[in-house]
Amino acid sequence: MRIVSFGPKGQEKPGVVHGDRVIDLTAADPAIPGTVRRILESEALDRVRRVLDKAESLPPNCFRPLSEVRLGPPVTDPSKIVCLGLNYSDHAAEQGREVPDWPLAFAKGPNALAGDGDPIQLPFGVTQLDHEVELAVVIGRRAKHVSQEDAPAHVAGYAVFMDITARDIQSREKQWFRSKSFDGFGPFGPSLTTRDDVSDPHNLGIWLEVNGRRYQSSNTGLMTFKVFYLVHYLSQSMTLEPGDIIATGTPAGVGVYAAPQRFLQKGDVIRASIDSLGALTNPVV
């Protein structure tokens, strides 16, 4: 099941993909909450499945052509975004660094979220804009002190995530938060693919292209710290709420470690994809 938030920025409504159309969930069932985060909080995914099961009998006003709607971030208002650094062995190697002994976690502001097709603004004064494609894990049930064995029950699903970074600010300030939290620096989507539709989150091809040229190409199986361990590990120090996002790190191929270095420029188009989860396409403006 592919859940989306569709509509103008700030006015997104929850939907579910049915073929080449989006079902407007609140039109199909007024009892369904008005945001994806609230759907997860109220454990209403079963209501969404029932809507999808009866799609053929829904009236025409419940449908919108997928090609005609803007897809915002599937969760528009998470309480937090937790990112992982150096979680792929090849990404650590391209920096000449060892894989860490424990997860290297940092935060990215929810204001950074953007949808498929939304522009990424090159901030004034930033000269080293870089890309990272990542597997996003979306929390479906509150998780606090959960075991690794119980962690899957707390995962709603997965999506594609881009961790855009102003490397010059990251290098100058040492702290990573501001360099990664400009508005629009977190394209996310295009949909939330529910956990039951992803047989193995650790066997998915993951890649990123700039202007049609592929720079990152790997497999999520190369993650050092796996999805369910991360849910367990992070839940020991913070309560993970429904809708929270864990961005699980990026593979090799980022611009700052290329020889010579290369950075995103105005007019570039980034396309990032993960097997079974779709693709994000975002222009740099």
Q: What structural domains and CATH numbers belong to the chain?
A: 2-72 (no CATH), 81-283 (3.90.850.10)
Tell me the mean pLDDT in the region 251-278.
97
Q: What is the tens place of the pLDDT at every residue in 209-245?
A: 999 999 999 999 999 999 999 999 999 999 999 999 9
Cβ neighbourhood burial of 35 (10 Å; 0-12, 13-18, 19+): middle
Quote the percentage of the chain above a pLDDT of 70: 100
Contacts of 197 (CB under 8 A, 6+ apart): 1, 2, 157, 276
Are β-strands 186-194 and 245-247 bridged in parallel, bridged antiparallel, or unpaired?
unpaired
**pLDDT above 90 for 74:** yes
Give the H or E element holding residue 16: strand 13-18
Q: Which pLDDT tens digit goes with each residue over 32-50?
A: 999 999 999 999 999 999 9
Model confidence at 95, in pLDDT bands (50, 70, 90)?
Answer: confident
pLDDT(97) > 90: no
- In tens, the pLDDT along 104-123 reads 999 999 999 999 999 999 99
Q: What percent of the chain has pLDDT over 90?
A: 95
The chain-wide mean pLDDT, for the chain, equals 97
User: What phi, psi does 72 have (nearest 5°)?
Assistant: -80, -175
pLDDT at 251 over 90: yes
- pTM of the predicted structure, to 2 decimals: 0.97
Residue 78 has pLDDT above 90, yes or no: yes
Please give the pLDDT value at position 96: 82
